């Protein structure tokens, strides 16, 4: 199968590495294009890619499967281009998919362009980004959500399914709204909370650094590192994720705000908090996360 990966960072690079190391010999011919061409040419030199496309036009021409492995907002722009001015270059039976972490807006944009599209979201990642961080086993055993567009055909589902299988992932078909609500809860809202925690403790946008931050930072250990890990990610990627799933994230943030308000009631109880009530809240949270014995 002729695959063109558009965008070549951690996800695009890991897909290419997976196809090279896990795919059958000669089964995949992989081309890539990126607005930053250096990593693509490096991957050709590494033997990971069969070819580097000089332009987006060259990337989509003669491809069986076009994989948009770019941030969400960039995927929207790419869909406009591929479904618009570049539509004539796309083979009639070609399939388009993506790997962005929000789905409703992206699938709707592909439907508006009448593209044979299957939205995808491999549920895997790392704190580091770029092709240099790509791993051939990044997706092994991980969920890979698929959301067929209105103009998707059986052929498109088979191609995307073959890609997922070659990457070692587990395909999970979902509706776009259900996917976006779920990832808002477990990924996107925590990203915002992680950034908000940094703003609250170290200082927010346009505000001076808090006077106690240096002393506080000197004491920070694994708890702080874990809570702020998501805020250390690529800012443009974070902005694209939040911008394309804003309503679901806002709803989940309100749930968090309601829970924090309940904690404040207990913490500010007249005469001091009830230690047993606090313990029961921690027990409840712990039990939600642990499998029953």
SS3 sequence, 81-117? HHHCCCHHHCCCCCEEEECCCCCHHHHHHHHHCCCCE
Is pTM beyond 0.95 here?
A: no
CATH number of 2-174: 3.40.50.720
Distance between start and end Cα atoms, the chain: 46
In this prediction, residues 153-168 reach a mean pLDDT of: 97
In this prediction, residues 253-271 reach a mean pLDDT of: 97
pLDDT of residue 293: 54
pLDDT per residue over 181-217, tens digit each? 999 999 999 999 999 999 999 999 999 999 999 999 9
Res. 24: pLDDT tops 70: no
Band (pLDDT 50/70/90 cuts) for residue 292 is: low
pLDDT of residue 234: 87
Band (pLDDT 50/70/90 cuts) for residue 129 is: confident
Pairwise CA distance, residues 136 & 22, whole Å: 8
pLDDT per residue over 49-65, tens digit each? 999 999 999 999 999 99
pLDDT of residue 145: 98
Res. 268: pLDDT tops 90: yes
pLDDT of residue 125: 78
179-289: CATH superfamily = 6-phosphogluconate dehydrogenase C-terminal like domain (1.10.3660.10)
Find how far residue 198's CA is from the centre of its chain.
22
Q: What percent of the chain is predicted at pLDDT more than 70?
A: 98
pLDDT of residue 263: 97
pLDDT of residue 291: 72
| 66 touches 119 (CB < 8 A) | no
- Six-digit token string for 85: 């001015």
Pairwise CA distance, residues 28 & 16, whole Å: 10
- Six-digit token string for 292: 């029953």
Pairwise CA distance, residues 173 & 145, whole Å: 6
Q: Which residue has the tokens 């580091």?
A: 128
DSSP-assigned states of every residue in the chain: -EEEEES-SHHHHHHHHHHHHHSPTTT-EEEEE-SS-HHHHHHHHTTS-SEE-SSHHHHHTT-SEEEE-S-HHHHHHHHHHHHTTTGGGS-TT-EEEE--S--HHHHHHHHHTT--EEEEEE----SS-SGGG--TTTTTT-EEEEEE-TT--HHHHHHHHHHHHHTT-EEEE--HHHHHHHHIIIIIHHHHHHHHHHHHHH--TTSPPPTTHHHHHHH--HHHHHHHTGGGS-HHHHHHHHHHSHHHHHHHHHHHHHHHHHHHHHHT-TTS--HHHHHHHHHHHHHHHS---
Band (pLDDT 50/70/90 cuts) for residue 3 is: very high
For the chain, give every domain's residue range.
2-174, 179-289
- Six-digit token string for 290: 């642990």
Res. 247: pLDDT tops 90: yes
């Amino acid at each position: 199968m002729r695959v063109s990966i558009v965008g070549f960072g951690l996800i695009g690079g890991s897909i290419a590495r997976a196809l090279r190391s896990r795919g059958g010999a000669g089964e995949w011919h992989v081309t890539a294009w990126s607005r930053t061409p250096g990593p693509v040419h490096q991957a050709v030199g590494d033997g990971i890619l069969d070819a580097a496309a000089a332009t987006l036009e060259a990337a989509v021409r003669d491809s069986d499967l076009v994989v948009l492995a770019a941030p969400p907002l960039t995927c929207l722009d790419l869909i406009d281009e591929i479904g618009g001015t570049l539509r004539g270059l796309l083979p009639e039976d070609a399939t388009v998919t993506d790997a962005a972490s929000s789905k409703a807006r992206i699938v709707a944009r592909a439907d508006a362009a009448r593209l044979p599209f299957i939205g995808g979201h491999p549920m895997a990642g790392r704190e580091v980004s770029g092709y240099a961080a790509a791993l051939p086993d990044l997706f092994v055993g991980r969920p890979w959500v698929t959301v067929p567009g209105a103009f998707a055909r059986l052929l498109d589902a088979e191609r995307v399914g073959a890609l997922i299988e070659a990457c070692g992932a587990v395909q999970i078909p979902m509706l776009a709204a259900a996917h976006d609500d779920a990832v808002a809860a477990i990924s996107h809202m925590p990203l915002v909370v992680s950034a908000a925690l940094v703003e609250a403790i170290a200082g927010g946008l346009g505000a001076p650094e808090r006077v106690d931050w240096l002393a506080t930072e000197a004491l920070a250990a694994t708890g702080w590192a874990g809570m702020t890990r998501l805020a250390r990610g690529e800012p443009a990627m974070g902005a694209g994720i939040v911008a394309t799933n804003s309503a679901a994230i806002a709803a989940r943030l309100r749930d968090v705000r309601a829970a924090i308000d309940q904690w404040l009631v207990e913490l500010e109880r007249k005469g001091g908090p009830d230690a047993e009530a606090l313990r029961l809240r921690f027990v409840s949270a712990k039990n939600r996360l642990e499998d029953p014995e």
